[in-house]
């Protein structure tokens, strides 16, 4: 029965793609007649920006770029695309931090959700509402998380769940999941939203939540931009901590490292004082990386010699944890941290600690960005690979990938941390492994024009394919986070049981398949 159902779904999907015509386009004169309050631009510089993304591996030109002044501008454009004789593609672009052209729109219109050319975007701040039961902030879908943070801090409040980097947009991360070291406790960002305004592929502006238009609400969260454009999000807030105790400890044994990580995330239900606030980790496969990382984090008087740590198979693992606190409770933070560390089995004398303001901790990756930019190492190709790996197979992944395929060269950080599936709402569109606990493994590598073969784009892309092939052959049921596939079968495999629902939601909310075509899941029809 399962095979029959799978065949039926595949057939529906293939027919769905076949009846489409690919050459959708629009005359510039048709666009210019639209009349928007913001700016509809055919300017070469605008088009160039919208053709590119952080991945730096593909360049696809839209015909025009809309800088909306309001949700009504987004409605006007999508309605025109939906009802025009020829139809045209429309993609929201957050901050263009995708890897594989997900926000591009070939010969269509890219809506620059972030930026100051539309009047709405250069005025108004996010509106914070202080409630008796809960505090929340209403933000424009193209707002950067760093701006959301700065606005809410004026009220002593902050969102609960983050990404490691804050120069990403609310609509962009909510279309994926939005994860960082707080996810074990608060869930991903998509678990911390009360309500959305969404412009569907039919050009309707709908408010949705768990109670109202709930199918659309769940569909859009983690929905890869397929069902609508988020113009407003209502995000839950908590009292903002003032400072952060930031700790790193090292492991040479992978099973001890993951045992401790899993123990720490199992404390999610405990009182705040008895758990950490953030749990991540990373893999150190080459000495260059650790020296680099150590010099930026730790005092030079650190006595530990990395070579003396007896790394298992040349690989070390670093657990990264934080404890938030207010200046008024500074006297208890040491004891709380001490009590938690007592239960862990890291290498003695490998505890590295720093203490900094909450904002500086959240905005830490921006510092690294500025450094890389100054060396010309930011705007380079980024063949990143993000995988969710089920807990039961993480040791096999370690053996095959960290101690196997990677050799001792990485070309960038490799993050690894577990999350609790119970904190993810299964009704959303995002796909995670079937187990109660799964790991994010993020291979965040940069390619260089280098003499050294292991740093080239070709080499890193080929290594990514090798990792995916290894997982398939070893039957490790990984799921890509920020997924990128090119064939219908691969997308169907990715969604598994949820494919039917995803397709149904698409037919309902974007029947002409004009939205976010850069994801390469569906092709548009006329
Ligand atoms: P874009 O890349 O511009 O868009 C992404 C997709 O969402 C596109 O398909 C686009 O059409 C669609 N979209 C954009 N805006 C909207 C909207 N308003 N409504 C509907 N659809 C929309 N992710 C994490 O989860 N955790 C991290 O810690 C993390 N760190 C990162 C660090 C860096 C340096 C980078 C480059 C990326 C990181 N990411 C992380 C990935 C990030 O979440 C994705 O790139 C995400 O797409 C957000 O980027 P963006 O806002 O630029 O969206």
The complex scores an ipTM of 0.99
- Ligand 1 centroid, distance to 172 Cα (angstroms): 4
Per-residue model confidence (pLDDT) at position 19: 41
- Ligand 1 centroid, distance to 39 Cα (angstroms): 23
DSSP summary character for residue 292: H
Active site residue 277: no
Burial of 30 (0-12, 13-18, 19+ CB in 10 A): middle
- Ligand 1 centroid, distance to 103 Cα (angstroms): 9
Regarding the beta carbon of 350 and ligand 1, being less than 6 Å apart is answered no
Quick one: how far is CA 358 from the chain centroid?
Answer: 21
Distance CA 399, CA 388 (A): 16
Instruction: Write out the chain's pLDDT in tens, 526 residues.
Output: 666 666 666 655 555 554 443 455 677 777 877 889 999 999 999 999 999 999 999 999 999 999 999 999 999 999 999 998 778 999 999 999 999 999 999 999 999 999 765 554 545 678 888 877 789 999 999 999 999 999 999 999 999 999 999 999 999 999 999 999 999 999 999 999 999 999 999 999 999 999 999 999 999 999 999 999 999 999 999 999 999 999 999 999 999 999 999 999 999 999 999 999 999 999 998 765 555 554 455 543 454 555 666 666 679 999 999 999 999 989 999 999 999 999 999 999 889 999 999 999 999 999 999 999 999 999 999 999 999 999 999 999 999 999 999 987 788 999 999 999 999 999 999 999 999 999 999 999 999 988 889 999 999 999 999 999 999 999 999 999 999 998 999 999 999 999 999 999 999 999 999 999 999 999 887 5
3-state helix, strand, coil in the chain (%, to 5): 40, 20, 40
pLDDT tens, residue by residue, 466-492: 999 999 999 999 999 999 998 999 999
Shortest-distance atom of ligand 1 to CA 97: 52
The CATH architecture assigned to 2-118+496-519 reads 2-Layer Sandwich (3.30)
Phi, psi angle pair for 248, to nearest 5°: -125, 135
**Is the CATH number of domain 119-239 3.40.50.1980?**
no
Using CA atoms, how far residue 183 sits from 355, 418, 431, 439, in Å, is: 22, 9, 15, 11
- Ligand 1 centroid, distance to 270 Cα (angstroms): 32
Per-residue model confidence (pLDDT) at position 10: 62
Regarding the beta carbon of 180 and ligand 1, being less than 6 Å apart is answered yes
Give me 305's structure tokens. Answer: 């010699």
Distance CA 156, CA 135 (A): 11
Give the residue whose CA is nearest to atom 37 of ligand 1. 97
Give me 304's structure tokens. Answer: 């530990």
Cα torsion for 511, 491, 406, 188, to the nearest 10°?
60
Question: In testing the pocket of ligand 1, which one of 70, 146, 175, 182 has its CB within 8 Å of the most ligand atoms?
Answer: 175
Regarding the beta carbon of 176 and ligand 1, being less than 6 Å apart is answered yes
Shortest-distance atom of ligand 1 to CA 54: 36
Give the closest residue to 107 by CA, choosing from 28, 199, 16, 33.
Answer: 28
Give the residue whose CA is nearest to atom 32 of ligand 1. 165
Q: Which residues pair with 233 in a beta bridge?
A: 139, 196
Regarding the beta carbon of 102 and ligand 1, being less than 6 Å apart is answered yes
Distance CA 401, CA 382 (A): 19
Domain boundaries, the chain: 2-118+496-519, 119-239, 243-480
Active site residue 280: yes
245 in Cβ contact with 326 (< 8 Å): no
Per-residue model confidence (pLDDT) at position 122: 47
- pTM for this model (two decimals): 0.93
Where do runs of H (alpha helix) occur along 88-179?
119-122, 145-153, 170-174
Using DSSP, state whether 247 is helix, strand or coil. strand
Per-residue model confidence (pLDDT) at position 360: 97
Domains 2-118+496-519 and 119-239 share a fold: no
Which pairs from 31-36 meet CB under 8 Å and 24+ separation? 31/63, 31/64, 31/80, 31/109, 34/76, 34/77, 34/80, 35/76, 36/66, 36/68, 36/69, 36/73, 36/76, 36/77
Catalytic residue among 147, 195, 260, 280: 280
Give the residue whose CA is nearest to atom 13 of ligand 1. 172
Per-residue model confidence (pLDDT) at position 5: 65
The packing angle between helices 488-495 and 2-18, to 10°, is 130
How many other CB atoms are found less than 10 A from the CB of residue 36? 20
Distance CA 238, CA 78 (A): 35
Q: Which residues pair with 200 in a beta bridge?
A: 228
Burial of 218 (0-12, 13-18, 19+ CB in 10 A): buried
Distance CA 219, CA 215 (A): 6
Per-residue model confidence (pLDDT) at position 365: 96
Return left, alpha or beta for 187; rule: phi > 0 is left, psi -120 to 50 is alpha, else beta.
left
Active site residue 97: yes
Regarding the beta carbon of 80 and ligand 1, being less than 6 Å apart is answered no
Phi, psi angle pair for 429, to nearest 5°: -85, -10
Catalytic residue among 67, 95, 97, 509: 97
Shortest-distance atom of ligand 1 to CA 365: 34
CATH code, 243-480: 3.40.462.10
Regarding the beta carbon of 216 and ligand 1, being less than 6 Å apart is answered no
Percentage of the chain surpassing pLDDT 70? 88
DSSP summary character for residue 350: -
């Amino acid at each position: 029965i399962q095979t029959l159902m799978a065949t039926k779904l595949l057939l529906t999907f293939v027919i769905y793609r076949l009846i489409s015509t690919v050459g959708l386009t629009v005359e510039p004169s048709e666009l210019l007649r639209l009349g928007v309050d913001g700016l509809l631009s055919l300017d070469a510089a605008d088009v160039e920006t919208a053709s590119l993304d952080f991945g730096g591996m593909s360049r696809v030109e839209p015909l025009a770029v809309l800088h909306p002044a309001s949700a009504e501008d987004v409605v006007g454009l999508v309605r025109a695309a939906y009802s025009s004789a020829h139809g045209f593609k429309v993609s929201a672009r957050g901050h263009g931090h995708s890897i594989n052209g997900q926000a591009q729109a070939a010969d269509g219109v890219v809506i620059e959700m972030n930026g100051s050319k539309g009047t709405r975007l250069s005025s108004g701040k996010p509106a914070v509402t202080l409630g008796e039961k809960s505090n929340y902030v209403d933000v424009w879908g193209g707002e950067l998380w760093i701006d959301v943070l700065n606005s809410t801090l004026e009220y002593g409040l902050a969102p609960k769940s983050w990404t490691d980097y804050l120069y990403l947009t609310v609509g962009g991360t909510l279309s994926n999941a939005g994860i960082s070291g707080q996810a074990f406790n608060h869930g991903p960002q998509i678990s911390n939203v009360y309500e959305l305004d969404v412009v569907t592929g039919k050009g309707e502006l709908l408010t949705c939540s768990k109670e109202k238009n709930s199918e659309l609400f769940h569909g859009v969260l983690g929905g890869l931009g397929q069902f609508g454009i988020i113009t407003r999000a209502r995000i839950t807030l908590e009292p903002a901590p003032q400072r952060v105790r930031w700790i790193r400890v090292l492991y040479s044994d992978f099973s001890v490292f993951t045992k401790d990580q899993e123990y720490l995330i199992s404390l999610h239900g405990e009182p705040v004082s008895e758990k950490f606030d953030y749990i991540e980790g990373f893999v150190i496969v080459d000495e260059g990386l650790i020296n680099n990382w150590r010099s930026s984090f730790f005092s030079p008087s650190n006595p530990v010699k990395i070579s003396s740590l007896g790394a298992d198979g040349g690989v070390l693992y670093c657990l990264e944890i934080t404890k938030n606190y207010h200046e008024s409770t500074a006297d208890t933070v040491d004891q709380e941290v001490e009590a938690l560390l007592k239960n862990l089995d890291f290498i003695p004398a490998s505890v590295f600690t720093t203490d900094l303001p909450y904002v500086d901790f959240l905005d830490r990756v921006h510092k690294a960005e500025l450094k890389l930019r100054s060396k010309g190492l930011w705007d380079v190709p980024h063949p990143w690979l993000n995988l969710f790996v089920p807990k039961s197979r993480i040791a096999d992944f370690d053996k095959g990938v960290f101690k196997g395929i990677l050799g001792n060269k990485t070309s960038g950080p490799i993050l690894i941390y577990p999350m609790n599936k119970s904190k993810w709402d299964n009704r959303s569109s995002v796909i995670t492994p079937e187990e109660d606990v799964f790991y994010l493994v993020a291979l965040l590598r940069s390619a260089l024009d280098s003499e050294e073969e292991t740093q080239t784009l070709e080499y890193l892309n080929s290594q990514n394919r090798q990792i995916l092939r290894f997982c398939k052959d070893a039957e490790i049921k990984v799921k890509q986070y920020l997924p990128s596939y090119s064939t219908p079968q691969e997308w169907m495999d990715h969604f598994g049981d949820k494919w039917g629902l995803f397709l149904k939601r698409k037919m309902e909310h974007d029947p002409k398949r004009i939205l976010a075509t850069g994801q390469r899941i569906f092709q548009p029809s006329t």
